[in-house]
Amino acid sequence: MSLLRSRVQNPQSVIGANVVTIRRLLRRVRGGSQSWLIEGEDDRYYVAKFLGNPQGNRTLVNELYVYPLLSQLNVLTPPLYLLDLPEHLEQHDELYFLVGNKRVRPEGCLHLGSQVPVNPENTAIFDFFPDRLLKKVSNLSDFATMFVAGIWCYQTDSLQAIFIHDPSDFDTAYESDTPYLAYFIDNGLCFDGMHWDLRDTPSRGLGLYKRVCSLIDMRALTKEAVSKVQAISEETLLANAQTIPSAWFAPGDRELFARLIGHLRKRQLRLPLLVTHQLDSLGF
């Protein structure tokens, strides 16, 4: 799996290093952030989340911060890039957020882009996957890791994943028994979204976990994931925050986020107990 992951996900090409200019706005994407599918000048496709979206700019901070943590945990998640919205697209007739009965334009010029792993114009992407096909997903163990990461980072949204079958891009081993991959997306509601909080209340939206847990050794895999989380250093937690654009922070938010990181560090020590409690309560 490591060779496949290195081909589709390159942590070195992420945060703060590469800025992709938006070439075309293609269509809206459903969801609370009112995102768009866009084409970049690099000929790749992205789901763009814009500053000023109804879920708040803190959700972009959350998503950009959590991505390298998931990469370090070896979870398959689309690479994130900064997106430059050129001036000629800023006034596009359809580029606005609908807030109540008002139309609100995005803020600023640098936004968040989640790279679509395949060309959505010619490759199917499934955001719902039937139970009978779940055993054909090659990275089911990532669900256990995401369960642990969700508890650690207090993810208050349902687990979001897309499933892709693209045999032309897979190694032979993945073309037969397990030809599908699950990519985990939408982590903006970690830390309780705009509230920047960490609580011990049960995770929400566990439907997808419950569908997968009978196919994997949830206890063993979550124990392994906890060890990986606890191995993430304080230096890494602090360094990840420095890569977030300053324009995404409101006055005082840098200090509040630094405090949140301190709580996240302490939470690593309590994670075994938190995970065991949730597994017991859910009967996993």
| pLDDT for position 15 | 47
Residues of the chain with pLDDT under 50: 1-16, 169-175
Q: Which range of residues forms the domain containing residue 130? A: 2-282
Q: Which residues pair with 221 in a beta bridge?
A: none
Structural domain total, the chain: 1
| pLDDT for position 203 | 64
**Residue 3, SS3?**
helix
Judge whether 95 and 25 are in contact, CB under 8 Å: yes
What backbone phi and psi angles, to 5 degrees, belong to 40? -95, 165
| pLDDT for position 24 | 96
Q: Which ranges constitute the DSSP H helices of the chain?
A: 2-8, 58-72, 87-90, 131-134, 141-152, 207-212, 218-230, 234-241, 253-282
| pLDDT for position 177 | 74
Render pLDDT for 133-191 as a digit per residue (tens, 0 to 9): 999 999 999 999 999 999 999 999 989 999 998 555 444 444 457 789 999 999 999 99
**Residues in Cβ contact with 160 at an 8 Å cutoff, skipping those fewer than 6 apart:** 127, 184, 185, 186
**Residue 161, SS3?**
strand
Whole-structure pTM value: 0.89
| pLDDT for position 188 | 96
